[in-house]
Amino acid sequence: MRILLALCFLLLLFSVAVAVCIGSSGLSLGKVFEALRTWLLPGMFPIKDELSYNIVWQLRLPRIALSVLVGAGLSVSGAVMQALTRNPLVSPFTVGISNAAAFGASLAIMVGASWSGSQQVMITSGAFVCAICCAVLVYLIANRAGSSSVSLVLTGTALTYLFSALTNTIQYLINDDKLAAVVHWTFGSFSGATGGQILLLSIVFALIFPIFLHNSWTLNAMASGSDDIARGLGTNPIRKRILLGLLSVVLTACAVSLSGVIGFVGIIGPHIARIAIGADHRYLLPFSAFTGGMLALISDTVGRTLFSPIVIPVGIVVAYVGVPLFLQLILSRKELYFS
C-alpha cells in the first residue's frame, strides 16, 4: 500500500510538472526550467527573463498549488461525509455549504466588493462566514431532530434551497456588472491564487486531515452499518458525527471560499478512490486526497489551455472530465455498487 501511495505521489508531481510547462503564454520548456532553477538557486542563477519568472512563480505555480489543495480538501471531506451519513450520494455540499458560500460572496459583491485586489478578501470572508453559519444551523436543527444521518441530510437539503433562493434574489436585484462577478464566482476558479491563500488552506488541511486519519476505524464502523455497531465498538456516534462533520465543514468552507463552487470533486473523488483502493478509511482518505487533487488539477489545466486564451471555469470542466471517468469506473466495477 505504501508503494502505491508513493507511486500516486510521483504521478501527482509529474502532473504538476506538466501543468507548469503548458499555458497560453507559450513559454518553452527551457524558459520554465530556467525560472525554476533561478528560484531554487538564486545565488548561482540570477533572473534573466523576468516575464517568464513571474509567469511561472506568480501565476502558474500558485494556481496549481491551490487547485491541488482545494481538490484534496473537497474529496477528503466528501469521503468523511459519505461515511458519517452512510450515503454514497452525499458530498460536502449536502449541508448547504456551497449555496451558503455563494450567498455570502454574492452579498459581498452586491455591497461593492470586486473579485480583484484587496476587496477579494471581503468576498472570501463573506463566503466563509455564511458557509460556517449554514453548517452550524444545520447541525443545531439536526440535533433537535435526533442527530441522525437522515435528519442531517434533510436539513441540509432544506437550507440548500433557502440559500439558493437568497442568492437568486441578489442576482435579480444587482446590475449586470455585479451579476457577471457573481456568476463568475459560482463557476469556480483558481485564477488570482496567492501565497496567503495557499498557506491558509495548507494549515487548515494539515490540522484537520490527521484527525480524520486518527478516526479511520470510527469512520469504518459508522459507514458499515447502523449506529449500534459504532456504539458496540465503544464510540459515541452522535458526538463523532458532530465533531467530524463540523471539521469536514470547516475544511470545505475554507476551500470553497478561496476557489468558488466546485461541486463535483467532493462526490466523485471518494468514489474513484473507493473503487481503486477499497472502503478502509485508513487508505481511502489519503487516496481521496490524491484523486481529488488530481481531478481538480487536470480540470483546471484543461480549462485554461484547451481554448486558450479563453479560460473555461474549473467548475464546468471538472464535470466534463470527471463524469466519463466515473461512469467508466462504475461500469468496470459495477459489483461494488449493485451487488
Indicate whether 117 pLDDT > 70.
no
What is the distance between the alpha carbons of residues 106 and 48, in angstroms, rounded to a whole number? Answer: 43
Does domain 27-334 fall under CATH 1.10.3470.10? My reply is yes
Q: Where are the alpha helices (DSSP H) in 174-264?
A: 176-187, 195-214, 216-224, 227-232, 237-259
- Residue 256 has a CB neighbour count (10 Å cut-off) of 30
Averaged pLDDT score across all residues of the chain: 85
Strand, helix or coil for residue 27: coil
pLDDT in tens, 65-114: 999 999 999 999 999 999 988 887 788 888 888 899 999 999 988 887 55
Q: What amino acid is encoded at 232 in this protein? A: G
Reference 84, options 175, 152, 5; nearest CA is 152
pLDDT digits (tens, 9 = 90+) for 13-34: 889 888 888 877 767 777 787 7
Query: What percentage of residues in the chain have a pLDDT greater than 90?
Result: 32
Question: pLDDT per residue over 32-53, tens digit each?
Answer: 877 777 766 666 666 677 778 7
Listed range (92-106, 135-149, 177-191, 284-298) with the worst mean pLDDT: 135-149
Query: Read out DSSP for 138-200?
Result: HHHHHHHTTS-HHHHHHHHHHHHHHHHHHHHHHHHHS-HHHHHHHHHHHH---TT--HHHHHH
DSSP code of residue 119: G
Between 237 and 174, the higher pLDDT residue: 174
Q: For residue 139, name the pLDDT band (cuts at 50, 70, 90).
A: confident
Global pTM reads 0.90
SS3 of 270-306: the string is HHHHHHHHCCCHHHHHHHHHHHHHHHHHHHHHHHHHC
CA 246 to chain centre: 16
